[in-house]
């Protein structure tokens, strides 16, 4: 009886050892994969910061201004702003182009709008809140 029990326990121990080895080996491989992924993540994060810095460097106003001036662009002048008077009785020129406008009342709104992209900007498509969006480009 004891002899059989001893054999069973010995075999169970061996099986447990084997299972433990397999699990440990699997864990080690997973850890190695995690470490590799972490390294890859770190590299990717660093690449992102380098690219972000490079984009900011390329979009710096000091670089963009001469390029913009070469294209004939100049800082926005006061004469480029105009106030548009919309006559409610006259048909809107935008009707028929899918722009609607039938319910518009009379309004006089200033349209600031940057006929030419300003070379003073930082090159990124952001603008202060409250500032109207550029309407169109005039050259």
Given the rule CB under 8 A, which residues bind other proteins?
42, 45-46, 49-50, 52-57, 59-62, 65, 72-87, 90, 92-93, 108, 110, 112, 114-116, 118, 120-122, 124, 126-128, 130-131, 136, 138-139
SS3 124: coil
Q: Are strands 107-111 and 82-86 parallel, antiparallel or unpaired?
A: antiparallel
User: Smaller CB distance to other proteins: residue 29 or 127?
Assistant: 127
Helix (H) or strand (E) holding 7: helix 2-58
Give the Cβ contact number of residue 25 at 10 Å. Answer: 10
Beta carbon of residue 48, minimum distance to other proteins (angstroms, whole number): 10
CB of residue 111 to other proteins, shortest distance in Å: 9
Please identify, using beta-carbon distances, which residue of 26 and 61 lies nearer to other proteins.
61
Cβ atoms within 10 A of the Cβ of 73, count?
Answer: 18
Q: Are the CB atoms for 124 and 59 separated by under 8 Å?
A: yes
Q: Which is nearer to other proteins, 30 or 59 (CB)?
A: 59
């Amino acid at each position: 009886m004891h002899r059989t029990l001893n054999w069973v326990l010995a075999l169970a121990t061996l099986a447990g050892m084997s299972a433990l080895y397999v699990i440990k080996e699997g864990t080690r491989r997973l850890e190695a994969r995690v470490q590799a992924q972490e390294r890859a993540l770190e590299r990717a994060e660093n690449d992102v910061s380098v690219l972000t810095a490079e984009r900011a460097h390329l979009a710096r106003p000091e670089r963009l201004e001469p390029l913009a001036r070469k294209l004939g662009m100049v800082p926005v002048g006061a004469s480029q702003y105009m106030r548009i008077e919309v006559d409610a009785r006259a048909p809107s020129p935008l009707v028929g182009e899918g722009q609607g406008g039938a319910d518009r009342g009379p309004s006089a709104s200033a349209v600031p709008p940057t006929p030419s992209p300003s070379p003073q900007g930082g090159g990124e498509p952001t603008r202060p809140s409250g500032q109207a969006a550029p309407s169109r480009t005039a050259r």
